Amino acid sequence: MPKLTPHNAAAATQHDERPIHILWINCGLSCDGESVSLTAATQPSIEEIALGAFPGLPKIALHWPLIDFECGPEQGVDNFVEWFHKADRGELEPFVLVIEGSIPNETINGQGYFTGFGRHPGTDQPITVNQWLDVLAPKATIVLAVGTCATYGGIHAMAGNPTGAMGVPDYLGWDWKSKAGVPIVCVPGCPAHPDNLSETILYLLYQAAGQAPMIPLDDQLRPRWLFGATVHEGCNRAGYYEQGEFAETYDSPKCLVKLGCGGQVVKCNVPKRGWINGVGGCPNVGGICIGCTMPGFPDMFMPFMESMPITWRTGSPMAVTESETYGSVIRSLREFALKQFDTEPQWRKKGPELITGYTPDWGDDRVRPTRLRAWRRGSRARRSGGSA
Ligand code: SF4
Ligand code: SF4
């Protein structure tokens, strides 16, 4: 297949009005967290995507174990896996392949298998996620890995695991590109954020329809606009961090770094975005960031509940106590400045005179502009730290 361009992709999806199929395989090693998470998406919701609520979006056929918009009662739930066989036979074009869960190393599975999604028509044996990837990835227009398990291996791939689990880029290759020239797209998170998932799916559908340019990805294959900033940069406790005020218990509104928060070195937009419909967002609501979107998760962030040396978090030689000292200076300067700004102007009072500085054209001598000028001089001096 030629590379996607606005011209040929639009031609493929609009002229013959074929739907774009989304084939969602959730049989990697996982807890189905991304599927559950997606049901909570609101910006956009998966129902809006599947039912065509967006202008210019071609018809979508979603083959997703949680809600199958294509099969249902008419075709019978037993037909579900047939769509994947159709794609394997080359009868489904175009399609986006979504992988949820990490990819085990099936070459060391002994006489069993680690995963299974449907059965081989001939042998009746389970079809592993590895086998589906082998046959479907080369035929897919786009491959999307959802959740930290599918993107980087996640919890199943931590040190000491018995399955040799890995992420989709580890399995297919980090430089792998689809037949349309699109790299693997990774939306990490444990689970992935609902709207990060739905927004990326929507983007990719528009791209497949030729109405969006190549998705911008960072060097870990994450959408750049979603994963470009750290948790710390979006945290509503960052002001406390700057002032060296750290929570010692979970009922405190202060910065959670001493309780184990790793937000300073974690790329994730959850504190800014909230979790469901803008509400929540790990450290914003009292939960330490455990780095669940990161390729090194979980090993690099364990033990989660213990404070790591601040040098490890920041890469700077500053220790917590030094940070607290520096923060206390910032805090006292800020308290002084706050007092200056936390006052009303002097002219808001009862009295026989108008002292706002108003100068009527007709020369009302009740006005005392000199008093206003004096107040402004004092205000400027207070802002610059001098005396009035
Ligand atoms: S709670 Fe975490 S993310 Fe928030 S300011 Fe503290 S260290 Fe940064
Ligand atoms: S803030 Fe941290 S723990 Fe929460 S979703 Fe983001 S990476 Fe995961």
Residue nearest atom 6 in ligand 1 by C-alpha distance: 255
Which tens digits make up the pLDDT trace of 63-100?
998 877 655 444 555 578 889 999 999 999 999 999 99
Mutational test site, ligand 2, from 195, 273, 293, 297, max ligand atoms within 8 Å of CB: 293
> Looking at residues 8-12, what average pLDDT do you find?
45
Confidence of residue 14 (pLDDT cuts 50, 70, 90): very low
Confidence of residue 122 (pLDDT cuts 50, 70, 90): confident
Predicted local distance difference test score (pLDDT) of residue 121: 82
Name the percent of the chain lying above pLDDT 90. 62
49 in contact with ligand 2, CB cutoff 6 A: no
In DSSP notation, 263-316 reads: GGG-B--HHHH-SBTTB--GGGGTPPP--TTSTTTTGGG-STTSPPPHHHHHSS
Distance (Å, rounded) from C-alpha 112 to C-alpha 101? 19
The answer, yes or no, to whether the previous bond of 94 is cis (omega within 30 of 0) is yes
Predicted local distance difference test score (pLDDT) of residue 319: 52
Task: Give the pairing of strands 95-100 and 60-63.
Answer: unpaired
Distance (Å, rounded) from C-alpha 55 to C-alpha 272? 27
Predicted local distance difference test score (pLDDT) of residue 325: 80
Question: Which ligand minimizes its atom distance to the CA of 293?
Answer: 2
* CB 295, CB 152: distance < 8 Å: yes
Predicted local distance difference test score (pLDDT) of residue 335: 82
**C-alpha angle 231/232/236, rounded to 5°?**
100
Which tens digits make up the pLDDT trace of 187-197?
999 999 999 99
Confidence of residue 359 (pLDDT cuts 50, 70, 90): confident
Confidence of residue 382 (pLDDT cuts 50, 70, 90): low
**Distance from Cα 64 to the centre of ligand 2, integer Å:** 25
**Contacts with 68 (C-beta within 8 Å, 6 or more apart), sequence order:** 62, 77, 80
**Distance from Cα 330 to the centre of ligand 2, integer Å:** 28
Confidence of residue 314 (pLDDT cuts 50, 70, 90): low
Atom of ligand 2 nearest to the CA of 283: 1
Residue nearest atom 7 in ligand 1 by C-alpha distance: 257
**Contacts with 341 (C-beta within 8 Å, 6 or more apart), sequence order:** none
In 3D, which of 213, 219, 198, 210 has the Cα closest to residue 152?
A: 219
In 3D, which of 198, 149, 189, 190 has the Cα closest to residue 169?
A: 149
Predicted local distance difference test score (pLDDT) of residue 77: 54
Predicted local distance difference test score (pLDDT) of residue 98: 98
> Looking at residues 312-319, what average pLDDT do you find?
50
Rounded CA Rg of the chain: 28
Residue 1, number of CB atoms within 10 A of its CB: 13
* Residue 344 to residues 167, 349, 352, 368, 385, Cα–Cα distance (Å): 59, 10, 19, 19, 18
Question: Which ligand minimizes its atom distance to the CA of 307?
Answer: 1
Instruction: Read off the DSSP letter of residue 15.
Output: I
Question: Which ligand minimizes its atom distance to the CA of 301?
Answer: 2
- Report the mean per-residue pLDDT for the chain: 86
Instruction: Between 6 and 27, name the one with better pLDDT.
Output: 27
Predicted local distance difference test score (pLDDT) of residue 196: 98
